[in-house]
């Protein structure tokens, strides 16, 4: 008999949630993490991640978001940790931009509360924002931010409370199916279980090479600035989260000053980073990168980049269509995978954990995850026949 019911590989945003849900259901869970708990060497760090419902990426995400919100509230209640704050949010750009039009279409399709603001009204409500005259915004009161480190810690604490065996500094070297389930070999030993859940983050190309999905890992940078004139106009009660797309399609996103005077306000580019390898990523943030970020904010948030405070790198693990991969492994019935979250996945961590627990224990889930089937990304088989 395997030593565990389920092994969860990777205890970042998704893996910590999966371990929590599985352990809460009474399963014997072993969690394996190559670094320490809630570390800053992958993709689940940086103090804040946007959460929103009017989803420009695809309306199909909205039902998952509605459930995620319920689970975020439950996580806050059960853990006693500060994991979610609603500040309101604006999606800004030209009316036909993906950011604005896609958000509006999702809101209309699912009957989500929202308002459309012209440039003058946007600036009147939020004086920190200075849109061009032809720009508009979708305002969503239920948007805000979640805290990645706090969230991962909360899920890990609850998982341990429910009996999960969580092991850190134990990188996985390989895994293989067995007649009774799976065998996982790490730098410290070998473990067996009836089922394996792999949440590898930027290590997907290494741990899921046989999945047939071409992942691209991308270096991203998060920046914090002390606003000119102080943080008062940028506090969460006055300044929203935002995603802002310019006429060339470049998107930036940002947050209020959520940690007071010392923390400043965070902003970043959404996509456009350089391909990287998690083992060799350049974690130095260079002066030209800071200057580019400040220049992008200058016409839109003129007081934001008063003084540069700090920057941190993280990684996006992208699929070709920027949608997730969440499914049973097509070649191994005892393996479930969750990866390729393409820079917009963390807000779904709570519901992804629930989905992974469903798939690992029942082989199916009530949640709509057809969009995330890895077969959509596998290379097409060569045509047969004679040429």
Q: What is the tens place of the pLDDT at every residue in 6-32?
A: 999 999 999 999 999 999 999 999 999
CA distance 246 to 359: 40
pLDDT tier at 76, thresholds 50, 70, 90: very high
- Domain map of the chain by residue range? 4-44+149-211+321-377, 74-145+216-318
Does residue 387 have a pLDDT over 50? no
CB neighbour class for 229 (10 Å; exposed up to 12, middle 13-18, buried from 19) = exposed
Going by pLDDT thresholds of 50, 70 and 90, the confidence category of residue 384 is very low
Instruction: Please name the fold of domain 74-145+216-318.
Output: D-Amino Acid Oxidase; Chain A, domain 2 (3.30.9)
- Return the percentage of the chain with pLDDT > 90, whole number: 94
CATH superfamily, with its number, for domain 4-44+149-211+321-377:
FAD/NAD(P)-binding domain (3.50.50.60)
**Residues 103, 106, 111: CA angle, nearest 5 degrees:** 120
pTM of the model: 0.96
Q: Where are the beta strands (DSSP E) in the chain?
A: 4-9, 29-32, 49-51, 84-86, 89-93, 115-118, 136-140, 144-146, 165-167, 172-178, 181-186, 190-198, 216-226, 241-245, 251-254, 265-270, 274-275, 307-318, 325-328, 335-339
Q: Burial code of 77-116, b = ≥16 C-beta within 10 A, e = fewer?
A: eebebebbbbbbbbbbbbeebebbbbbbebbeebebebee
- Tell me if domain 4-44+149-211+321-377 and domain 74-145+216-318 are identical in fold: no
Spatial CB neighbours of 206, under 8 Å, sequence gap ≥ 6: 200
- Enumerate helices (H) and strands (E) in the chain, giving the number of each: 9, 20
Q: How many CB atoms lie within 10 A of CB 363?
A: 11
Eight-state DSSP code of residue 380: P
């Amino acid at each position: 008999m395997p030593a565990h019911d389920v092994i969860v590989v990777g205890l970042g945003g998704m893996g910590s949630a999966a371990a929590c849900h599985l352990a809460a259901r009474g399963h014997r869970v072993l969690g394996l993490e190559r670094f320490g708990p809630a570390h800053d060497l992958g993709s689940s760090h940086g103090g804040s991640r946007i959460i929103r419902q009017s989803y420009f990426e695809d309306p199909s995400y909205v039902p998952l978001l509605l459930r995620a919100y319920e689970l975020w509230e439950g996580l806050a209640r059960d853990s006693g940790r500060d994991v979610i704050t609603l500040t309101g949010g604006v999606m800004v750009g030209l009316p036909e931009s993906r950011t604005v039009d896609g958000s509006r279409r999702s809101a209309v399709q699912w009957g989500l509360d929202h308002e459309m603001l012209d440039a003058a009204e946007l600036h009147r409500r939020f004086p920190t924002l200075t849109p061009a005259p032809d720009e508009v915004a979708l305002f969503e009161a239920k948007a805000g931010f979640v805290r990645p480190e706090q969230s991962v810690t909360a899920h890990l604490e609850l998982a341990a409370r429910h009996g999960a065996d969580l092991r850190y500094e134990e990188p996985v070297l390989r895994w293989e199916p067995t007649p009774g389930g799976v065998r996982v070999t790490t730098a410290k030993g070998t473990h067996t279980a009836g089922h394996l859940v792999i949440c590898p983050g930027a290590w997907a190309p290494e741990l899921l090479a046989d999945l047939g999905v071409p992942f691209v890992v991308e270096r991203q940078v998060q920046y914090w600035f002390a606003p000119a004139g102080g943080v008062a106009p940028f506090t969460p009660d006055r300044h929203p989260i935002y995603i802002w797309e310019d006429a060339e399609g470049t998107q930036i996103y940002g947050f209020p000053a959520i940690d007071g005077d010392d923390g400043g306000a965070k902003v970043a580019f959404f996509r456009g980073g350089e391909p990287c390898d998690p083992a060799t990523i350049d974690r130095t943030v260079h002066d030209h990168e800071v200057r580019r970020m400040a220049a992008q904010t200058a016409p839109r948030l003129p007081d934001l980049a008063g003084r540069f405070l700090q920057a941190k790198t993280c990684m996006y693990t992208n699929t070709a269509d920027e949608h997730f991969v969440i499914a049973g492994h097509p070649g191994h019935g005892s393996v479930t995978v969750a990866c390729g979250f393409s820079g917009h996945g963390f807000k779904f961590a709570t519901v992804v954990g629930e989905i992974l627990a469903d798939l690992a224990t029942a082989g199916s889930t009530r949640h709509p995850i057809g969009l995330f089937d890895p077969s959509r990304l596998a290379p097409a088989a060569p045509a047969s026949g004679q040429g």
